[in-house]
């Protein structure tokens, strides 16, 4: 590959990332509709501890995401266009303003939610911890701004569409309802205790293999469910999109840049997070057909597992996305370090996830049959007990007992 051609490809991807980031900056800021949140960006998120700089983390990316019955239209396999977006808005409007708590439907308004503190940023909105005044239930509310930006509106629809349809999957964060106004969409979700990115920052140490094993089982099953049941690829797998609660339950979240699969291929090119991006997404083998499939998410899962197991992002000494992308393409894929006590099953699983040639990388059915997944699918591992011990040793993680819906 000529150096100039290689450089041009990376420059093109970097421009796309910057364009998406600028779009998010313009359109992410929501209106408060009379609700006052005192300087939420300056407050410390309850349960997540202070903002800590973690050595060896991925370079800062400038783009910082209850069961109920939902009447859905037949699944479409084509990418959403402007007509689809408006039609889906009309469909979901029918159940807007209804919250589902413990099997009960409660008609609510935005003013019935009391903002408490900001929890974090998603792909097209920010998430605020709120309390439903009538019941006292605590929620994680993702606030997204409707705009004239077609791509932003498409992300909002994808986020809503996936979480609503996934009410029967225990490995995906549950939606309890939503609100839609002329300028905003609020998705009300179950409140989890933390995300794995913030957990790593508090720990300042690796997560034990047995805990990662249980986490891997949950994430692979969530991704397999999305593909098989809804024809969806996540496209943004990373520690900040994997959530944990005090009961040791692990769930996947943030579907704002998820994509529909057409003939098992993703046809659109939303960038996602560069640090976890698969080689074939950076440099498509056939530039005239830059399609990719679920194995791109398998790569992102592999990078995530290495980060969790070692406590640091595997591509070290990178200050920018551009430097990470260059290393992904030019260097051998990361592996779990030998002599560090990792089981052969874990090392094999990561090696298969991080096969640089996507054709040699397994899909979910094969991953579910891997000895590492089989082992931890049945292993007696108390994730809740481990997390409770982490909380007791790290006072910066507040008790998550109030985070559960009772």
- Lowest mean pLDDT of 89-93, 190-194, 383-387, name the range: 89-93
Q: Between residues 146 and 397, which one has the greater pLDDT?
A: 146
Q: What is the mean pLDDT of residues 267-274?
A: 58
Instruction: Between 43 and 320, name the one with better pLDDT.
Output: 320
pLDDT reading at 28 higher than 50: no
Distance in angstroms (rounded) separating the CA atoms of residues 113 and 258 = 28
Which among 72-76, 144-148, 256-260 has the top mean pLDDT?
144-148
- 254 belongs to the catalytic site: no
Q: Comparing 156 with 398, which gets the higher pLDDT?
A: 156
Q: pLDDT value at position 145?
A: 82
Tell me: pLDDT of 333 over 60.
Answer: yes
Mean pLDDT of 30-52: 37
pLDDT for residue 51: 41
String of DSSP letters for 253-270 = ---TT-EEEETTEE----
Higher pLDDT, 321 or 11: 321
Domain coordinates in residue numbering, the chain: 23-38+52-189, 194-392
Of 308-312, 371-375, 393-397, least confident by mean pLDDT is 393-397
State whether CATH 1.10.510.10 applies to domain 194-392. Answer: yes
| Residue 343 banded pLDDT, cuts 50, 70, 90 | very high
pLDDT in tens, 45-87: 334 433 444 656 777 654 333 333 333 333 334 455 566 667 7
Helix (H) / strand (E) containing 66: none
The catalytically annotated residue of 27, 197, 236, 254 is 236
Element (H, E) at 365: helix 364-368
- Mean pLDDT is highest, among 1-5, 7-11, 388-392, 402-406, for 388-392
Distance CA 281, CA 295 (A): 10
What is the predicted pLDDT for the residue at 371? 98
Q: In which band, very low, low, confident or very high, does the pLDDT at 29 lie, cut at 50, 70 and 90?
A: very low
Q: Please give the CATH architecture assigned to the domain spanning 23-38+52-189.
A: 2-Layer Sandwich (3.30)
Kindly report which listed range (179-183, 257-261, 322-326, 388-392) carries the lowest average pLDDT score. 257-261
Q: Determine whether 42 is exposed, middle or buried from the number of CB atoms within 10 Å of its CB (0-12, 13-18, 19+).
A: exposed
Average pLDDT over residues 252-258: 70
The confidence score (pLDDT) of residue 130 equals 97
| Share above pLDDT 90 across residues of the chain, in percent, rounded to a whole number | 46
47 vs 237, more confident: 237
* pLDDT, averaged across the chain: 78
d(CA 150, CA 148): 6
What confidence score (pLDDT) does residue 61 get? 52
- Which tops the pLDDT comparison, 242 or 271? 242
pLDDT at 300: 95
Question: Is residue 165 a contact partner of residue 230, using CB atoms and an 8 Å limit?
Answer: yes
State the DSSP H helix or E strand holding residue 177, giving kind and residue range, or none if neither.
strand 175-180
Q: Residue 233: enclosing H or E segment and its boundaries? A: strand 232-233
């Amino acid at each position: 590959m000529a150096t100039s051609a290689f450089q041009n490809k990376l420059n093109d991807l970097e421009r796309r990332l910057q364009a998406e980031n600028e779009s998010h900056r313009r359109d992410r800021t929501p209106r408060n509709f009379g609700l006052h949140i005192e300087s939420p960006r300056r407050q410390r998120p309850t349960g997540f501890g202070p903002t800590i700089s973690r050595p060896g983390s991925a370079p800062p990316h400038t783009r910082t995401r209850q069961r109920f019955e939902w009447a859905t239209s037949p699944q479409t396999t084509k990418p959403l266009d402007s007509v689809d977006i408006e039609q889906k808005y009309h469909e979901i409007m029918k159940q807007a303003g209804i919250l589902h708590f413990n099997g009960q439907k409660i008609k609510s308004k935005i003013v019935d939610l009391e903002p408490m503190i900001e929890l974090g940023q998603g792909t097209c909105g920010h998430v605020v911890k709120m309390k439903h005044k009538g019941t006292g239930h605590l929620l994680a509310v993702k606030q997204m701004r409707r705009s004239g930006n077609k791509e932003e509106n498409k992300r909002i629809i994808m986020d809503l569409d996936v979480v609503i349809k996934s009410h029967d999957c225990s490995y995906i964060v549950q939606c309890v309802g939503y609100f839609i106004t002329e300028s905003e969409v609020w998705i009300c979700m179950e409140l989890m205790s933390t995300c794995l990115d913030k957990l790593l920052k508090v720990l300042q140490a690796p997560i034990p293999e047995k805990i990662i094993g249980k986490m891997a089982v949950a994430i692979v099953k969530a991704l397999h469910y999305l593909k098989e049941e809804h024809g969806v690829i996540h496209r943004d797998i990373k520690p900040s999109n994997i959530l944990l609660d005090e009961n040791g339950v692990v769930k996947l979240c943030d579907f704002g840049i998820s994509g529909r699969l057409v003939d098992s291929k993703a046809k659109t090119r939303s960038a996602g997070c560069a640090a976890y991006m698969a080689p074939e997404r950076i440099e498509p083998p056939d530039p005239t057909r830059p399609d990719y499939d679920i194995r791109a998410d398998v790569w992102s899962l592999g990078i995530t597992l290495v980060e969790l197991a070692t406590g640091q992002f595997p591509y070290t000494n990178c200050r920018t996305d551009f430097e990470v992308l260059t290393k992904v393409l030019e260097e051998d894929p990361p592996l779990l370090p030998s002599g560090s006590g990792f089981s052969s099953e874990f090392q094999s699983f990561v090696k298969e996830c991080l096969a640089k040639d996507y054709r040699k990388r397994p899909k979910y059915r094969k991953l579910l049959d891997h000895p590492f997944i089989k082992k931890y699918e049945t292993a007696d591992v108390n994730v809740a007990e481990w997390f409770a011990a982490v909380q007791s040793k790290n006072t910066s993680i507040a008790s998550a007992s109030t985070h559960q819906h009772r």
